[in-house]
Amino acid sequence: MQSRSSLIKKAIVISAVVTLFVFGCQGSLNPFIWKSQIERFSSPEQLVQPQKVAQFYEEMREGIKHDPEEIFLYIKWKIPYSADFVHHGALNHLATAEEVLQSGKEDCDGQAVLLCSVLRYAGYDAYAVIGPSHAWVEVKTDELLRINYRGGDWFVKFNETGAQWNSDIFLLMITKYFLLLAIFFFLLLYGREKGFFRYVEEYLGFLKYIIAVFFVSAAIIIIFAFFWTPGTLLITVSALAVFEVIARLRKVVKKKKKGS
């Protein structure tokens, strides 16, 4: 049997690799775009392309062109929301403004990049802003205008002239995801070591096993999403307790079988 320290080391290594994959390659299933996604993430200013959206801007009605919020509504109508995993086979695909227009569908960061490009072409002092779970656009007028802002912090804001990084939020975000992954993989490895998954498969059957894992994973995601610190502690302690109980029950059953 492997020691807990050995399982922790394995979980840390796996989590580090997955974290690099998610934040570097954007979790893309297409290895041919990994290089470009890494470059775009490290230098997001290349995503904003004011000159590439000239025709798109000129096609707008005059009543829309001079109102940033109306331009955003127009973009939402022309470029409907589509999750990156469905549209690009990635957890977070970074598309240029030109690519957004070509694809015709994008998520919030693609819409933000396109809106920022259009506003920059129209002469506004605008920035695309990306946070841990959402993207929006900021426009500097007499007052700061936030378009499609839903609250929360940001880790990078940019336009074609450069990017500004909020290093504290960025490091906190990476650390959070790394810890979540480390706990998740440790629990998987520990459960496997204790025979938990073998037990579930033996007594519940293969189909019920899949269903159980699905609902448990959904519960974990919900708890982590709404209760980060207490949720992490609750899931970890509960899972370890369940694994220990099942491991001891298996030992008791084996002894009884040997005795009989």
The pLDDT of residue 177 is 86
What's the chain's average pLDDT? 84
pLDDT at 238: 66
The per-residue pLDDT for range 197-252, each reduced to its tens digit, is: 666 666 555 555 555 666 666 655 555 554 445 555 566 666 666 666 666 666 66
Tell me the residue type at 237.
V
Domain 16-170 has CATH 3.30.70: no
pLDDT band at 163 (very low <50, low <70, confident <90, very high): very high
pLDDT of residue 47: 98
pLDDT digits (tens, 9 = 90+) for 103-127: 999 999 999 999 999 999 999 999 9
Q: Which pLDDT value is given to residue 115?
A: 97
* Predicted local confidence at residue 168, as pLDDT: 95
What average pLDDT does this structure show over 63-74?
Answer: 94
Q: Which two tokens stand for residue 253?
A: 């059953």
* Closest of 163, 72, 62, 64 to residue 116, by C-alpha: 72
pLDDT for 229 equals 52
Using the CB atoms, write b or e for 3-21: b if 16+ within 10 Å.
eeeebeeebeebbeebbee
Report residue 259's pLDDT band, with 50, 70 and 90 as the boundaries. Answer: low
What pLDDT score does 207 carry? 55
Alpha-carbon distance of 80 to 197, in angstroms, equals 42
Domain boundaries, the chain: 16-170, 194-259
Instruction: List residues bridging with 138 in a β-sheet.
Output: 127, 146
Phi, psi of 125 (to 5 degrees): -90, 85
* pLDDT band for position 3 (cuts 50, 70, 90): confident
What φ, ψ does residue 195 adopt, rounded to 5°? 80, 15
Which pair of tokens denotes residue 100?
Answer: 């957004």
